[in-house]
């Protein structure tokens, strides 16, 4: 049994999770990472993806986040997400709309740098869609 | 002297008005509670955001290449004012208070030879400022269709501002909104959002605040991602404060209106009763004097 630590998932609209957890999987900008107690201090931006939280009671909860960043210190982990919902509550139409918007961004991009950024974002979104919507 | 029938009609109409204002007051009270809850729910995010920002700016240090959004353009010639007001009236002096505050500010800036641009959020502020400074208003944001204020609304405004900044449209951006103090008191406030003044990190040893962070990707990159987001958060907070303030102001305004209507009904009823009594007395006198004459 791993030691528990404090995890908080905050979106601008509300505080979603604030509890003792065993481990959290965060979709970091440079790869997924699992955070456990006494993690070295790290600050990372996150890409659209699924956050998997394993609570101290052994339950597993999954949340979809769309970008944001994580602040990890030995005592705990705070995830500031631009928008976050539990996987069960995900709105398929909303996701489709976001993908559509991302496609438009790619089409509208004026220079290579913004285009590659937009394309990257789009691919992250489609991966996410594949991961949570099996149908 | 109005007739009895006129008085009756007036009493009925004032009563109807009173019912409406009473209902509006109750609606405002319910909405106020919701707005307050929303404002409270948004607080953790902006607090953490502030802490993280402070932390990261400290890590980069003064010599670092902080993004332009933070350091500004180094000039203060063109000012952008984002004036946030309500979409609807009937809330006492709420809108005019913010507008007056903004107007004083604009006058001062213009007197100092600065250029001013205005973005109006909310219809009421636009209506008021349009009278004097129509040529300065470059944009307006309409939130009338919005039922519950979401982060996306704030994000859209922030994106507009940032885009304008990147195009070199202004040097300093200030946010005007009303700070919600209590139901009866809202204080018009300004807040400079570009360049963003970040408070230095408080020495917070309890959560390892002084520890050396590892950054993924580079601190500068995170910061350039963080600053625009922080601006959205500030705008969001301002909108939420405003929403709560508007409802508070509306509640007390409608409470006053209801009470005024009550007073008016009382006065009208007294006049009505007196006049009825006078009429009865008059009729009695007529009958009696008629009988005596026989």
- Higher-confidence residue: A50 or B56? A50
- The mean pLDDT value of chain A amounts to 83
H or E element, residue A130: helix A112-132
> Does the structure show a pLDDT above 90 at B16?
yes
Using a pLDDT cut of 90, give the percent of chain B over it.
Answer: 41
Low-confidence winner among A63-72, A84-93, A97-106, B57-66 (lowest mean pLDDT): B57-66
> Does the structure show a pLDDT above 80 at B1?
no
> Cβ(A43)–Cβ(B216) under 8 Å?
yes
> Does the structure show a pLDDT above 50 at B137?
yes
CB–CB of A45 and B42 under 8 A?
A: no
H or E element, residue B166: helix B151-166
Question: Which residues of B does the annotation mark as catalytic?
Answer: 91
3-state secondary structure of A2: coil
Report which of B240, B158, B206 is spatially closest to residue A14, judged by C-alpha positions. B240
Report the alpha-carbon distance of residue B64 to residue B269 in Å, rounded: 75
- Higher-confidence residue: B147 or B198? B147
Q: What separation, in Å, do the N-terminal and C-terminal C-alpha atoms of chain A show?
A: 35
Name the residue in chain B with its Cα closest to that of A16.
B41
- Higher-confidence residue: B147 or B119? B119
Greatest Cα pair distance, chain B, in angstroms, is 115
Q: What are phi and psi of A67, to 5 degrees?
A: 70, 165
CA B259 to chain centre: 24
> Does the structure show a pLDDT above 60 at B72?
yes
* Alpha carbon of A14: minimum distance to chain B alpha carbons (Å): 4
ipTM above 0.90, yes or no: no
- Higher-confidence residue: B27 or A122? B27
- Residue A110: count of CB within 10 angstroms of its CB: 7
Report the alpha-carbon distance of residue B227 to residue B234 in Å, rounded: 11
* Alpha carbon of A133: minimum distance to chain B alpha carbons (Å): 24
Chain B residues bordering chain A (beta-carbon distance below 8 Å) = 38, 41-42, 44-46, 48-49, 51-52, 55-56, 150-151, 154, 206-209, 211-217, 219, 221-222, 225-226, 229, 232-233, 236
CB–CB of A43 and B45 under 8 A?
A: no
> Does the structure show a pLDDT above 70 at B206?
no
3-state secondary structure of B177: strand
Q: What is the pLDDT of residues A100-117, one digit of tens each?
A: 888 888 888 777 777 777
Q: How confident is the model at residue B202 (pLDDT cuts 50, 70, 90)?
A: very low
* Cβ–Cβ contact A37 with B under 8 A: no
CB–CB of A80 and B52 under 8 A?
A: yes
- B158: tokens are 């922030």
3-state secondary structure of B94: helix
Report which of B183, B19, B5 is spatially closest to residue B94, judged by C-alpha positions. B183
Partners of A73 in the β-ladder? A76
- Compute CA distances A123 → A65, A83, A110, A126, whole Å: 15, 18, 19, 5
> Cβ(A77)–Cβ(A24) under 8 Å?
yes
Q: What is the pLDDT of residues B23-34, one digit of tens each?
A: 999 999 999 999
pLDDT score of B249: 93
CB–CB of A75 and B48 under 8 A?
A: no
Cβ contacts of residue B140 below 8 Å, gap of 6+?
B119, B120, B121, B123, B126
Using a pLDDT cut of 70, give the percent of chain A over it.
Answer: 96
Q: How confident is the model at residue A48 (pLDDT cuts 50, 70, 90)?
A: confident
Q: What is the pLDDT of residues B230-265, one digit of tens each?
A: 888 889 989 998 999 999 999 999 999 999 999 999
Q: What is the pLDDT of residues A69-80, one digit of tens each?
A: 888 888 888 898
pLDDT score of B111: 92
Partners of A44 in the β-ladder? A70, B216
Q: Which of A28, A69, A74 sits opposite B226 (nearest CB)?
A: A69
Please provide the DSSP assignment of A57-85 as one string: TS-EEEEEE-SEEEEEETTEEEEEESSEE
């Amino acid at each position: 049994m791993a030691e528990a630590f404090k995890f908080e998932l905050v979106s601008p609209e509300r505080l979603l999770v604030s509890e003792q957890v065993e481990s959290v999987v965060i979709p970091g900008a440079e790869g997924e990472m699992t955070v456990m107690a006494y993690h070295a201090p790290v600050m990372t931006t996150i890409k659209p993806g699924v956050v998997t939280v394993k609570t101290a009671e052994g339950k597993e909860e999954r949340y979809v986040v769309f970008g944001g960043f994580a602040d990890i210190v030995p005592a705990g982990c705070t995830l500031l997400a631009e928008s976050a919902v539990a996987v069960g509550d995900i709105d398929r139409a909303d996701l489709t709309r976001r993908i559509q918007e991302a496609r438009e961004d790619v089409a509208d991009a004026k220079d290579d740098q913004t285009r590659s950024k937009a394309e990257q974002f789009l691919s992250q979104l489609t991966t996410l869609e594949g991961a949570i919507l099996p149908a | 002297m109005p007739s009895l029938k006129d008085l009756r009609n007036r009493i009925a109409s004032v009563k109807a008005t009173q019912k409406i204002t009473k209902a509006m007051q109750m609606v405002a009270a319910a909405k106020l509670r919701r707005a307050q809850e929303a404002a409270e729910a948004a607080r953790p995010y902006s607090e953490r955001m502030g802490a993280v920002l402070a932390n990261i700016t400290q890590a980069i240090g003064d010599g670092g290449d902080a993004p332009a959004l933070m350091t500004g353009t180094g000039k203060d010639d063109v000012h952008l004012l984002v004036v946030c007001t309500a979409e609807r009236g009937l809330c006492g002096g709420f809108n005019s208070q913010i507008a007056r505050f903004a107007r004083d500010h604009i006058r001062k800036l213009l007197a100092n030879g600065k250029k001013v641009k205005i973005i109006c959020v909310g219809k009421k502020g636009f209506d008021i400022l349009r009278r004097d400074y129509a040529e300065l208003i470059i944009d307006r944001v309409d939130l009338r269709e919005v039922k519950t204020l979401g982060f996306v609304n704030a994000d859209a405004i922030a994106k507009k501002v940032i885009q304008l900044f990147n195009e070199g449209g202004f040097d300093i951006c200030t946010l005007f909104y009303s700070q919600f103090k209590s139901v009866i008191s809202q204080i018009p406030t300004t807040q400079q959002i570009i360049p963003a003044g970040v408070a230095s990190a408080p020495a917070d040893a309890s959560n390892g605040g002084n520890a050396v962070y590892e950054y993924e990707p580079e601190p500068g990159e995170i910061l350039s991602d963080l600053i625009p987001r922080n601006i959205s958060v500030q705008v969001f907070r301002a909108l939420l404060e405003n929403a709560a303030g508007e409802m508070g102001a509306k509640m007390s305004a409608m409470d006053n209106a209801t009470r005024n209507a009550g007073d008016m009904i009382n006065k009208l009823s007294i006049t009505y009763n007196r006049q009825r009594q006078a009429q009865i007395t008059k009729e009695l006198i007529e009958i009696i004097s008629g009988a005596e004459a026989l």
